[in-house]
Structure formats: C-alpha cells, structure tokens
C-alpha cells in the first residue's frame, strides 16, 4: 500500500473511532435513561452522587473520563468506568466493522452493522442491569432489518457473505422467536422474557434464517457458560439471557451464514 493511501486510511479510521465514541456516549444515556423513562435528549447530565451538573467540557467521550481519572470534578466521587468502557467499545467496534467491510466497497452494510452493534450494546448493558429489553431498541433493530432488506433487494450493494433473500428474512423473523415464545409461555416468563422473543424476531429480519439460528446457538452456548460462572461467583439467581443473545446476534451479523454452512456441511445436510 502506498504511504499516502495508508495515511488516508488512518485518518478515516481515526474519524470513525471519534464518531463511534460520540455515539457511545449517547448509548450510555440510553442504557441509564430508557429503563426510567427519562428523556433521551434532555441536555444536562448530573453527577450521580452530588448532583452537580456536569460541564460541557467534561462530557467529551472517553477523554474526559481519563483526564478526570474517573472522578467527579466537584465532589471527587468515582464515576463508573462503565461509561468509558461503553464509549470505547462502540468506537473500537465501529473501526473493526469498517475494516472488515472495506469502507470503499460495502459502506452501506458497514453503517448498518455499526448501528446494529450500537443497539446490541444497549441491549447488553440494559438487560444486564434491569432484566429488561427496551421495545424502542428492538424496533430500531427491526428498522435496520428493513433497511438491510432494501440494500439487498435494490442491489445497492452485494456483499459476499451477508446478503439474504426476503423469504429467508421472513422465516428468520419466526424461526427462533416462536421457540422462545413457547419457552416463555411454558415457563411463565421465568426462563425467557417477552423482550428476548421480540429481540430475536427483529434480529431474524436483519440476519435471515440461517444466521439467526446461528445467533441463537451462540447465545445459548455463551449464556449457559456465563450463567454457570455468574451463579458460582455471585450466588444470585438473577440472570438475563439478552446480553448473550446480543453477543450471538453481533457475531452472526458478520459470520452467521458461514457458521451455519459449516455446521450443515459437518452434519451432512449440504455438500
Ligand atoms: Zn459529584
């Protein structure tokens, strides 16, 4: 790669990262305010301990937290590293997604997957904290599914591994969510919440049938392992499945179709 091209790519990725952490700071607002029904666009943020309004120059994502060494400027109370983690995670994921889907070739898919990952970050942390999955976030994922359908159907872009047919998407909406609905009804909501059902329906629209089944399988495996570990460590019975489903959906958005094909080949369903 020629040097000026390398510098150009580097500048683009730095901007994508900065954009990612800015969106990440909005995700923090969603994670903390969606469960309480507070407005998402109300400007002023307050310190959770002393209530002091956080100055605008202290609201720079990631950097402010690092400069203040994770402490409130007025009272010195520790500010959860979670804010910084969510912001940097979103920034890093945006960069990785844009590297994976070369921004020169598949910009639309890259943008949609970035937005999907952001929504999944909100699902992950909010469900972890509250055992709730916001319907707004699920609707947002469904909207991304519709946009990805348009991307494929109008042939705006053709990706090697992620394009699926409308039929696959429609079956995908029900493939996992129906099973979860049955489990939810049978367990009276103890093993599974209605939020998980809606989440997998929206994910099915985005992913198509093969990848949404892969997402569920990944969610099931990681969730079971995490569940055992969490129970050992905390001894608590509170366990949310949503975080692990979102992990599965994220992985399946990139590799779901390939993973499903590998599985089908091993089991002899396809050659
Ligand atoms: Zn304070």
- The average pLDDT across 179-196 equals 88
Q: Which of 15-29, 107-121, 134-148, 231-245 has the lowest mean pLDDT?
A: 231-245
pLDDT of residue 43: 64
H-run or E-run covering 10: helix 3-33
pLDDT of residue 193: 86
pLDDT of residue 88: 96
User: What proportions of the chain, in percent to the nearest 5, are helix, strand and coil?
Assistant: 70, 0, 30
| Start-to-end Cα distance in the chain | 38
Q: How far is the CA of 118 from the centre of ligand 1 (A)?
A: 28
- Answer yes or no: are the C-beta atoms of 59 and 71 closer than 8 Å: no
Question: How wide is the angle at C-alpha 120 spanned by C-alphas 220 and 259, nearest 5°?
Answer: 45
Q: How far is the CA of 128 from the centre of ligand 1 (A)?
A: 25
- The average pLDDT across 13-32 equals 94
Whole-prediction pTM: 0.93
- Of 64 and 206, more confident: 206
Residue 205 has pLDDT above 80, yes or no: yes
pLDDT of residue 15: 96
- Answer yes or no: are the C-beta atoms of 35 and 126 closer than 8 Å: yes
Phi, psi (rounded to 5 degrees) for 18: -65, -40
Q: How far is the CA of 63 from the centre of ligand 1 (A)?
A: 18
Distances (CA, A) of 168 to 38, 87, 247: 37, 34, 21
- Answer yes or no: are the C-beta atoms of 107 and 84 closer than 8 Å: no
Q: Which residues contact 195 (CB under 8 A, 6 or more apart)?
A: 127, 132, 133, 134, 135, 138, 242
- The average pLDDT across 242-267 equals 92
Q: How far is the CA of 53 from the centre of ligand 1 (A)?
A: 8
- Answer yes or no: are the C-beta atoms of 25 and 85 closer than 8 Å: no
- The average pLDDT across 25-52 equals 85
User: Which among 117, 96, 103 has a CA at the least distance from the CA of 252?
Assistant: 117
Residue 31 has pLDDT above 90, yes or no: yes
Residue 47 has pLDDT above 80, yes or no: yes
Helix axes 135-153, 194-207, angle to 10 degrees: 10
Q: Is 150 exposed, middle or buried (0-12, 13-18, 19+ CB in 10 A)?
A: exposed
DSSP state letter for 54: P
pLDDT of residue 105: 87
- Of 236 and 122, more confident: 122
Q: How far is the CA of 69 from the centre of ligand 1 (A)?
A: 13
pLDDT tens figures, 77-91: 988 899 999 999 999
Reported confidence tier of residue 185, pLDDT bands at 50, 70, 90: very high
Q: How far is the CA of 22 from the centre of ligand 1 (A)?
A: 22
């Amino acid at each position: 790669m020629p040097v000026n091209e390398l510098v150009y790519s580097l500048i683009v990725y730095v901007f994508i990262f900065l954009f990612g952490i800015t969106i990440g700071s909005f995700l923090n607002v969603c994670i903390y305010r969606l469960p309480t029904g507070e407005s998402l666009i109300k400007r002023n943020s307050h310190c959770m301990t002393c209530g002091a309004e956080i100055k605008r120059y202290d609201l720079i994502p990631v950097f402010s937290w690092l400069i203040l060494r994770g402490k409130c400027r007025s009272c010195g109370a520790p500010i959860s590293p979670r804010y910084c983690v969510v912001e940097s995670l979103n920034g890093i994921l945006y960069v990785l997604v844009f590297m994976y889907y070369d921004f020169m070739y598949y910009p639309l898919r890259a943008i949609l997957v970035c937005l999907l990952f952001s929504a999944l970050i909100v699902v992950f942390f909010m469900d972890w904290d509250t055992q709730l999955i916001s319907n707004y976030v699920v609707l947002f994922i469904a909207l991304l599914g519709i946009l990805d359908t348009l991307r494929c159907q109008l042939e705006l872009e053709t990706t090697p591994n992620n394009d699926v047919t409308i039929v696959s998407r429609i079956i995908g909406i029900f493939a996992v969510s129906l099973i979860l609905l049955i489990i939810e009804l049978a367990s009276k909501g103890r093993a599974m919440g209605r939020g998980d059902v809606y989440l997998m329906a929206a994910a099915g629209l985005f992913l198509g049938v093969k990848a949404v089944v892969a997402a569920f399988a990944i969610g099931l495996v990681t969730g079971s392992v995490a569940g055992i570990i969490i129970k050992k460590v905390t001894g608590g019975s509170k366990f949310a499945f949503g975080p692990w489903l979102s992990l599965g959906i994220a992985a399946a958005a990139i590799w779901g179709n390939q993973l499903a094909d590998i599985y089908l080949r091993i089991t002899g369903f396809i050659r």
